[in-house]
Structure formats: C-alpha cells, structure tokens
Amino acid sequence: MNVVPRETTSSQDGRFQLLVDAVTDYAIYMLDPTGVVVSWNAGAQRFKGYTESEILGRHFSQFYTDEDLATELPRRALETAAREGKFEAEGWRVRKDGTHFWAHVVIDPIRDARGNLLGYAKITRDLTERKKTQEALRESEERFRLLVQGVTDYAIYMLDPQGHVTNWNAGAQRIKGYTESEILGCHFSQFYTDEDLATELPRRALETAAREGKFEAEGWRLRKDGTQFWASVVIDPIRNDRGELIGFAKITRDITERRHAQEALEHAQAALFQAQKMEAVGQLTGGVAHDFNNLLTIIVNNLDLLTRNAREPRDVKLIESAQRAAERGAKLTQQLLAFSRRQPLQPDTHNPNTLIEGFESVLRRACGEMIRLQLSLAPRIRWVSVDAPQFESALLNLIVNARDAMPNGGSLKIMTGNVTLSEMDSTSSDLPPGQYASIAVQDTGTGMTPEIVNRVFEPFFTTKEIGKGTGLGLSQVYGFVTQSGGHIKVDSTPGQGTRVTMLLPAQETGIETSEEEDETERPARDSAGTVLIVEDEPAVLEVASDIFDSLGYDVVTATDANEAIKVLDGNLSIDVLFSDVIMPNGMNGVELSRKAREMRPDLKILLASGYPMSALPSEGLGAGVSFISKPYRWTELAEKLRGLRTGA
C-alpha cells in the first residue's frame, strides 16, 4: 500500500485552494450539511458582493428571493443533492445590495470514504446577460408573432424544407379559407391549379428559392372552396447559423381585383387604339376615294363622248369594256367611302325583317349550293333608320364572307332581335344606353383567331387567296353601321364559326306587331324541302336550280355521282334527289339512285333522261322513284314532285 506523504497532500490542497480562489467567473464555495457557508472564493465575492469575513458561518438561503424562501427551495435543493447526487437549476438570486441576478446553480454532496455527508460543493454562474438576451429575443419573437398574426391582407406562413405548412396567420386563413388546424402539416402544393401541378411548379418554386435566394411570381391559386384568385407570391429560404436550410417563408397576396382593373385598362387602351387606327385609315381611304372619283368622272364622261362617235364594232366593244371597268372602279370607291363614313346615305325608317325577307332570294343565291340558310326573325322587331340599299349591301357582304368561311358547306343563320343597352353595356360598345335592333349573321365555318378579328374591318385586309377578294366587303359593313349610329361586333372561335352582330338604334315609331309574342326560329319562307340536283351540264344545272328555287326548294348541287354521294354521306338534310341518268365518271343516275336508297331509305328520287323510260334499268328502285323525260317544263317537274310527295 502506497502512502502519500503528508507534505505532498498538504501541497496539493494548497494548490487547489489557490485555483478555486483565482476563479472569478464562478462562485465556488462549500456548505456544511446544514447549509452554512464554510468557504468563499473571489468569484463568489464578485457575484454576490459579500467578503469572506461577512459570509462565513451564515446560511446560504440568504441568497434566495422571498418567493423561493416561501417554497423552501434552499432546503429542497440540499435534500435533492443529497438524495440524487446533484441539484441543478436556474433562477433569480439576491446580492448583498439587494439586486437580483440570474444564476445557474449546481450543488454536489461531499462525502467521506464511508459515505458520510460532510457538506456540499456549490457552484454558481451569473447568466444575467444571457437571460436578458434570451428575454429580448423572446419578446421580439412574440412581437413578431403578434405582428404576423395581425396581418390580414397577406398570407404569411412557413414551410418545412419539403414544403409542408408549419404555421399559419390570419391573412392566410382569410385569403385561402383554411383554418390553422386544417392546414398545418399539409403540403402547400394543394393551393396550385392542375395546370401548375402538371408542370411541377411547386417543386420548382422551392428549388429556385433555395438556389437563388428568392422565388417571386404571379399566378392563379386555389381557395379551400375551389374558387381561384390571382396571387402575388414570394418565397424566401430560411437558414440557420450554419447555413443549413431549415424551411421557407411564404408571403401571398390576393391581387385579383388589381388584375381585373389592369385587364379592363388594357381592353380600354386596345379599344381606343383600334378606334384611332380605324379613324386614321378612314380619313386616308376617304381622301383616296374622293380623288379617285374625280378621275373616274373624267374617264366616264370621255367614254360617253367616244361612244357617240364610235362606228366600228371593235371600237364600240373596247369602249364598253372600259365603261364596265369604270363602273367597277366606281363601286370600289363607294365601298371605300362607306368605310370612311363619307358615303352619302338616304336613311328612312324600315323594319329590318321586311328588308331581309325582301332580299332573301339574292341572299340564298349568294349562299351557294352547300350552305343551308335559315332565318330567325323576332316578330316584334324594332324599326331602324337606315339606307335600305346600303343595308342590303352590308348584309350581302356578311353572307358572302360567311359562305367563303364554309368551303365544305355548313349552316348559316340570320337572326334579328331587340336589345336594351344599360350603362355598363354601352361602355363596352361605345353606344349610348337605350333601345337597339340587333341583326346577326352566324356561320359554322372555320372561325378566326383574335388577331384576325381585330383587323377584319380594315380596308384591303383579307385572309382569302390572291384574286378572291378586295378586302373591302367588311369595311363597307363597318362604315355603314357606324355611319348609321350603330355598333358592329365580331365573336369568333377557330374551328367553331363566327357571329357578326350589327346593333342599330331603334326608332320610336313603326313597331310592327304580330300575334306571336315570342321569337320563333323558322325558314324564311315555306320551304318545300331540300333537293340535291345532280347534273354535269352547267347550263342545264342552272335551269334546274332556278326551277326548283321557284318551286320553294332549297337547292344543293353536284356535277357527278361521286360528289352526290359525298353530300348524302354528310349531315345535310336532303328530301329529294333529282339526277340526270347519263353522267360521266362511271356511275349513272340509276346506280346512284340505288346507292342513295341504301344510304337514305326515305329519300324521294326523280330521274331525268332523254331516253325513253322503257329503256332505263329501273329494277330494284322500288317506291318513291319517278322519271321525267327531257326536255321538261317547270309545270311537268312540279307535277312529278307533287306525285312523289303524295305517293301517286
């Protein structure tokens, strides 16, 4: 057994005492088993203000506040240390001068070799500054929390690094509709539309924020009830002291109203620009037309003078050709003047329905064979003050334009109605509030893009092939309507057709009444049905078309059996097939009839031929088929058709 010399032990105790006495950042002292102070170092004197002579022999409870004394904390601290081997806590302590400081306290029991309690070692550290810093931070965080929670115009919330919502303010609840309990822990991607989710915008937004320090954008977002709002979004990354990403701060603002206001302003600016452009172009075209009319006056009068002295047939023919060209030029200038609203008008009060019905035959002929024209005319349409010929010209231009948009056939409808414009409505149309008559032409054609719609009324603008249009038809319509005090609007969707609506001011008098109070949709006349005429000779085809048109039929034509089968295979309603028997391209009229009866069993068929009926192969045609010999008169044709309808 090694015995440590007494001198060595004393030396070590002395050095340890010197070490303890030298420590000034910690109060290190000893207590006897009852809590009386038996040693005191420089740190204890600095913290607590007592000198060694003042404190030795006194109970350590005098360092505790009245609140802690009331709960007997000093006694309980010593008992805990003795029982558990350690007592550690933080709390307020009292200095000699009565001031308080925040202390971190550790009390360890001291026992001899046999385990007998000799006393306690007590180490105290002054953490007042740290406590003040923590309190200031806590108060700052609390103020910030109250600030964020008090904001209702912005959604301010945090996300974890994966994008899950970790807190939620009142503004977020107001804007997005979720309560805090409903949304905490959910992924923020549920605020995004399906279109944004398909492009993984939420993931890309967080990646951008983490990589670049911020993500900022505007877009549509979803509320809890499924409605959408236009949002301004900012996402900032949150990093700790070591630069590690611990989440994201997300701020969202509902700017839907601002977006609507901006869109309204853009629309107003575009409308103003369009009006200014059309006005400028109108002034230009009006000037050109005026000067061109002066030149035409000279040309036409000189041609008239030449006509008086012309004797040779060749000279007469050349002059007449020049006169026709001059007349065509005069028509072009009239269209230019109409667009520029300088065309002299002779307005009178008219019923739009009467004008349309009186012009119907021309409109039907303009539609062509593959277009089915229908009229839907309001029975109590308001009268308007217009120049009737100019009205008919404008309507014809709209019909021709619609027809050209349906090269493969389709439906075309002319509709009239009464319109009352309110203050809000009149703002968008630049018309004063009041009563108007509406005349609309709607087709099922190719439609137009918004860019083309914005230019359709410009002179010489056309989407047709070179040589198939002057580009003045719709500009004439625009000029006529605006000069008549009205407004014209185009609604078109590519692939779905176009609707052109003319609004003309209604007149106080001249309202035509009818027994029918409701608007009805009907053919413009008592149509006998639709006939498909198959004839390869143009002259004969024209005569047959005129006869059937005079008999009340809507006419569709084909020049051979193959074209006819394409028509029958479509959706167009056909009541009668009228076909020549002898036709080119292989299939004759009888074979076409058999094929037609297979496709449409209820179809009435009338075959025309210069051969005797006994020589025609009519087996298998069955009932509902009749023959007529060439040459035929319209009375004979009408009788045959009557027999087909009655089964006679």
pLDDT digits 0-9 by tens, 311-333 = 777 777 777 777 777 766 666 56
Q: How far apart are CA 492 and CA 489, in angstroms?
A: 10
Out of 77-81, 508-512, 540-544, the most confident range is 77-81
Is the pLDDT score of 202 beyond 90? yes
What does the alpha-carbon distance between residue 597 and residue 209 come to, in Å, rounded to a whole number? 71
105 pLDDT more than 80: yes
pLDDT exceeds cutoff 90 at 57: yes
Looking at the structure, give the CATH architecture of the domain made up of residues 348-505: 2-Layer Sandwich (3.30)
Per-residue pLDDT band for 26 (boundaries 50, 70, 90) equals confident
* 307 vs 563 pLDDT, higher one: 563
**Closest of 248, 191, 252 to residue 217, by C-alpha:** 252
> What's the CATH fold of domain 529-646?
Rossmann fold (3.40.50)
Q: How many CB atoms lie within 10 A of CB 231?
A: 22
Give 468 or 490, the one with higher predicted confidence: 490
Question: What is the rounded average pLDDT of the residues 73-79?
Answer: 94
- Across 456-592, the runs of DSSP E, i.e. the strands, are 487-493, 497-505, 529-534, 553-558, 576-580
| Intrachain domains 6-129 and 151-254 with the same fold | yes
Which residue, 66, 129, 76, is CA-closest to 98? 66
- CA–CA distance from 457 to each of 195, 285, 341 (Å)? 36, 13, 13
d(CA 564, CA 588): 11
426-455 residue pLDDT tens: 545 567 888 899 999 999 988 888 887 777
* Whole-number pLDDT of residue 330: 64
User: What pLDDT does 519 receive?
Assistant: 40
pLDDT at 512 over 50: no
pLDDT digits (tens, 9 = 90+) for 608-625: 865 445 445 555 556 678
379 touches 413 (CB < 8 A): no
For the segment 243-286, what is each residue's pLDDT rounded down to a tens digit?
A: 899 999 888 888 888 887 777 777 666 655 655 555 555 555 55
- Choose between 321 and 112: higher pLDDT: 112
- Average pLDDT (491-503) is 89
pLDDT of the residue at 614: 45
CATH number of 151-254: 3.30.450.20
Predicted pLDDT of residue 4: 45
**φ, ψ for residue 603 (rounded to 5)?**
-70, 130
> In the predicted model, what is the mean pLDDT of the chain?
78
User: pLDDT category, 341, cuts 50, 70, 90?
Assistant: very low
pTM: 0.35
Pairing of strands 87-94, 100-111: antiparallel
pLDDT at 284: 54
Laid out side by side, the sheet with 117-126 consists of 26-31, 117-126, 100-111, 87-94
In the chain, % of residues over pLDDT 70: 73
Q: Provide the pLDDT confidence category of residue 230 given band limits of 50, 70 and 90.
A: very high
Angle at 276 between CA 273 and CA 277, to 5 degrees: 85
E strand intervals along 170-324: 215-222, 228-239, 245-254
| Beta partners for residue 254, in sequence order | 231
Contacts of residue 554, Cβ cutoff 8 Å, sequence gap at least 6: 364, 372, 373, 527, 529, 530, 531
What pLDDT was estimated at residue 35? 93
- The predicted model gives 423-428 an average pLDDT of 52
| Nearest alpha carbon to residue 490 among 481, 362, 434 | 481
What would the pLDDT profile of 122-173 be if each residue is shown by its tens digit? 998 888 888 777 776 676 556 655 555 555 678 888 899 999 998 888 888 8
Strand 487-493 with 497-505, pairing = antiparallel
pLDDT for res 429: 58
Span 484-503, average pLDDT? 88
Highest mean pLDDT among 2-11, 46-55, 508-517: 46-55
pLDDT for the residue 571? 81
Residue 348 has pLDDT above 70, yes or no: yes
The CATH H-level superfamily of 6-129 is PAS domain (3.30.450.20)
Task: Identify whether the C-beta of residue 625 lies closer than 8 Å to the C-beta of residue 613.
Answer: no
For the chain, give the number of residues: 648
Q: Are 491 and 454 in contact (CB under 8 A)?
A: no
**Model confidence at 521, in pLDDT bands (50, 70, 90)?**
very low
Closest to 527 in 3D by CA, of 552, 560, 497: 552
Per-residue pLDDT band at 340 (split at 50, 70, 90): very low
**Domain residues of the chain, as ranges?**
6-129, 151-254, 268-338, 348-505, 529-646
Between 19-23, 91-95, 363-367, the lowest mean confidence (pLDDT) is in 19-23
